[in-house]
Amino acid sequence: MQPEILPLEQFLPYRLNRLAEAVSREFAKTYRDRHGLTRPEWRTFATLGQYGSMTATAIGTHSAMHKTKVSRAVAALEERKWLTRTPDPADRRIEHLALTKAGLTAYREMVPLAKAFERELLGKLGAKERDALLGGLHALQSVLSLDPSET
């Protein structure tokens, strides 16, 4: 009896990583080519566009990034004049971050591109496959407590 083998191609952590990497890489072209944003910058940017105004910590927990990543992304976006910091009158540790006019303009331009990307990708799947994928991902998120509602 030969030693037991682990077929890596079928191993869930490996498959997820490969897929995530491929999809992210592909989508990254959209914001990298256009504006030279890095991934953490894009996430920070997208989170702010979605929620309007947040603290750095909130961005981190919500977009699943380490606080140093957020800190650096925020600095970069500020440098780019896409976001501003507003001190909190009550708690001087906190800064409220928000997109500037220029940032918002870029956001409004990016949103349709992002949606188109997703639509096109999912469009390559049949209806059943698409439902299976989205449902399966949701189920896995649930058991891992990665639901949006939970964070």
Partner DNA sequence: GCTTATTTGTTACATCTGTAACCATTGAAA
Partner DNA sequence: TTTCAATGGTTACAGATGTAACAAATAAGC
Residue 59 near residue 65, CB atoms below 8 Å: yes
**Which pair of tokens denotes residue 143?**
């058991």
33 binds DNA (CB under 7 A): no
Specify the residue, 58 or 98, whose C-beta has the smaller distance to DNA: 58
Specify the residue, 5 or 90, whose C-beta has the smaller distance to DNA: 90
43 binds DNA (CB under 7 A): no
Distance CA 114, CA 47 (A): 13
Specify the residue, 88 or 109, whose C-beta has the smaller distance to a second copy: 109
Q: How far is the CB of 91 from a second copy (least distance, A)?
A: 26
56 binds DNA (CB under 7 A): yes
Q: Which does residue 65 bind out of a second copy, DNA, none, counting CB within 5 to 8 angstroms by kind?
A: DNA
Distance CA 135, CA 143 (A): 13
Restricting to residues 66-105, which ones interact with DNA according to CB under 7 A?
66-72, 74-75, 90-95
C-alpha pair distances (Å), 47 with each of 50, 69, 98, 149: 5, 14, 10, 15
Distance CA 11, CA 21 (A): 16
List interacting residues with DNA (CB under 7 A): 38-40, 55-58, 65-72, 74-75, 90-95
